[in-house]
Structure 1
């Protein structure tokens, strides 16, 4: 959905728990904050699998229950394909998923400690603060037949691209090794010019 930044900020209420997640290939890092930037709990390190996601959900539910939060917004960077599994699984459990621009995360790192270095402990806080300030987008995650259609279109696009690359390699090879081939055949797939 297209919201203005003000509308995004207004979605973050006093009863909203903001969880920033630093995405990694095997391990993710999470920190939880309220709408004012006050941190709750300690850094959570969890695996990118079903057990790790269950650990995140348990940790989030415990913080939300003990502090009176009624809704959870999970913010993350769209790092490669590593965030797909996490987003799909936590969405099923009623958490809102939002994405922050990796460029904004990189540029915002210095705000806390005047140090632009990247760390697994620092990234989740930076992500959560961007979410708090309304600097996020809500991804469209297709379900059911729409998910299958997207996967089919991605596969088709990849195959068309690979086929084009193979055709170009064969044409190059023919031009280098058999330049007279095109005088006999219309193209390398075998049609005669006669």
Structure 2
């Protein structure tokens, strides 16, 4: 099995390919742009391996991973989403002080290499992103309601001070 660690960024992503059995790198950490050409570069780098023998892992970071995730899922790859706190904790537990994109790809591979019973990621099998988009809208609605409540309370406080 090949583990692919992808460190997601706003303008570019980094990835590496590690052999799960030997721990050796088949592809050393390298970068690709966050666009169609970059995504095609990643796919071409993965062509020597069968899709069933690859597990791609990336952090679930805001919205920067969504376009790449959609692209990989539409091309039939298995993708694992990882909480960024998990990779940070793994890096610290391994004694890593330095944080950079290339080292993060290796840390993501280490997270993917955890035993099945201690799995620290979730496999994404979403073919449609309706639920994802609904979740984002629900969160946005909730945040707006909280913000409105704060402003209503401030207004009420001002009114109470001016007109006791």
TM-score range, shorter chain: 0.7 to 0.9
How far does the alpha carbon of each residue in 1:9-51 deviate from its partner, in whole angstroms, 9 at most, with x for none? xxxxxxx321001122222110001222221123220122222
- Given that 1:20 and 1:31 are in contact with CA atoms closer than 8 Å, whether structure 2 keeps it comes out as yes
Report the counterpart of residue 159 of structure 2 in structure 1. 174
Structure 2 counterpart SS, 1:138 = strand
Give TM-score scaled by structure 1 length. 0.69
Root mean square deviation of aligned Cα: 2.6
Report the counterpart of residue 39 of structure 2 in structure 1. 53
Q: Mind listing any 5+ residue stretches in structure 1 that lack a counterpart? A: 1-15, 180-194
Report the counterpart of residue 16 of structure 2 in structure 1. 31
* Aligned: 1:153 with 2:138: yes
Q: Distance in 2 between matches of 1:104 and 1:154?
A: 23
Structure 1 counterpart SS, 2:20 = coil
1:38-187 to structure 2, matched below 5 A, reads 38-61=24-47, 63-64=48-49, 70-109=52-91, 114-133=95-114, 134-139=119-124, 141=126, 143=128, 145-179=130-164
Deviation at 1:89, TM superposition (A): 1.8
Q: CA, structure 1 residues 145+77, in 2 after alignment: closer, same or farther (shift >3 Å)?
A: closer
Give TM-score scaled by structure 2 length. 0.80
Q: Distance in 1 between matches of 2:155 and 2:126?
A: 39
Q: Distance in 1 between matches of 2:11 and 2:129?
A: 27
Structure 2 counterpart SS, 1:45 = strand
Deviation at 1:85, TM superposition (A): 2.0
Count of aligned residue pairs for this structure pair? 159
Q: CA, structure 1 residues 110+84, in 2 after alignment: closer, same or farther (shift >3 Å)?
A: same
**Which protein has the larger Cα radius of gyration, Structure 1 or Structure 2?**
1
- Given that 1:71 and 1:95 are in contact with CA atoms closer than 8 Å, whether structure 2 keeps it comes out as no
How far does the alpha carbon of each residue in 1:135-187 deviate from its partner, in whole angstroms, 9 at most, with x for none? 322246472543453344234323322322221221122123333xxxxxxxx
Range with greater deviation from structure 2 (94-103 or 148-157): 148-157
Q: Mind listing any 5+ residue stretches in structure 2 that lack a counterpart? A: none
